[in-house]
Amino acid sequence: MTSRPDPRSLLQDLDLDKQQLLDLLTLAAQLKRDKQHGDELPRLRGKNIVLVFEKNSTRTRCSFEVAAYDQGGQVTYLGPEWSHLGREESVADTARVLGRMFDCIALRGHAQDTLEQFAEHAGVPVWNALTDVWHPTQSLADVLTMTEHHGGDVEDIAFCFTGDGHSNIARSLLVTGALLGMDVRVAAPAGLQPPPDVVAAAEAAARSSGARLMVTDDLYPAVRGADFVYTDVWVSMGEPDDAWAARVRSLLPYRVTDDVPNASNRFGVRFMHCLPAIHNRGTVIGASLHQQFGLDGAEVAEEVFESKRSIVFGQAENRMHTIKALLVRALAE
């Protein structure tokens, strides 16, 4: 037996309208101030949250856990090897069990279909903590970060994503920016641009919000006038290592060096990245890329990542505040 997903669920960015997004951002900003000033009120006492993660995580897991604990909730973490999901037990059965024990479920999975099955069967709110298609909790944190570093209205913000435009990050940014009426540019090679259905959904949202959208393979016109330059890793978690050779060939022209933010011609342009980033040889992947391709870093140069333009760690912190807003909105209001 299946049912409609709980209306408090967040499966993709398109589940929210402009006002809901703005309300969440306002709540997240207030919760952030409350935490900083020591004024936070625990609104999730007695609430139990389960994190079902098919993929490992640093920021997403910690954001959900700290957000819940700050608000007085309890969290159970089921990592990639910590449940029967998909091996000895079907998605539907696991969802029905967890839905009877927990007040909400956050799923970080490989396939969007798995998330949607969870939402159909759980009977409680289900949140997308990353799938192969969408990453809505990240785009919420990204917009909060942009508003903190921009003096005008959200509709006045212009940002350029450069790199793998087919990724879940690029899709979520394109759609969320379109819903909010922002100036959104995606610069990516033709074979790695957002899928046509995602572009069509963003264009439909833009007709209502007044957003300005650009999807192009030409980086420098896309970055001109941008307040924020954003990139992501070229090969996502779960993709094979041999994907690097093709990605380096196609994405090297979209690498963020100092020339890219300089080309914005905007005073105060900022650099953003959802992390983890390959910006030097200090990781296993970074060392391997240097050995194979002579690259010191990949999608972003160290000179940009460690510059005063970089706001990536404040952006990472904001994952916690926006996720907290989602929890409070769903379980306490």
254 and 184: one domain?
A: yes
Q: Which of 61, 108, 185, 270 is catalytic?
A: 108
pLDDT of residue 325: 98
160 and 41: one domain?
A: no
Assign 3 a pLDDT band (cuts: 50, 70, 90): low
78 and 214: one domain?
A: no
In a domain, 145, yes or no: no
The upper half-sphere exposure of residue 268, i.e. CA atoms within 13 Å in the direction of its Cβ, equals 8
Gyration radius (Cα) of the chain, Å: 19
Q: What is the pLDDT of residues 252-282, one digit of tens each?
A: 999 999 999 999 999 999 999 999 999 999 9
Listed in order, strand segments (DSSP E) in 129-281 are 158-162, 183-187, 212-216, 228-231, 270-273
The domain containing residue 29 runs over which residues?
13-134+318-331
Q: Which of 274, 279, 309, 315 is catalytic?
A: 274
Distance CA 109, CA 129 (A): 8
Give catalytic status of residue 281 as yes or no: no
Give catalytic status of residue 266 as yes or no: no
pLDDT of residue 2: 46
In a domain, 143, yes or no: no
302 and 260: one domain?
A: yes
pLDDT of 241 higher than 90? no
pLDDT of 244 higher than 80? yes
In a domain, 273, yes or no: yes
Q: Which two tokens stand for residue 304?
A: 């940009």
In a domain, 250, yes or no: yes
Domain count, the chain: 2
Q: Which two tokens stand for residue 4?
A: 């409609």
In a domain, 144, yes or no: no
Q: Which of 121, 185, 270, 319 is catalytic?
A: 319
CATH number for the domain that contains residue 177: 3.40.50.1370
Give catalytic status of residue 39 as yes or no: no
110 and 249: one domain?
A: no
**DSSP 3-state assignment of 162?**
strand
pLDDT of residue 40: 95
106 and 207: one domain?
A: no
Q: What is the pLDDT of residues 137-192, one digit of tens each?
A: 999 999 999 999 998 999 999 999 999 999 999 999 999 999 999 999 999 999 99
157 and 301: one domain?
A: yes
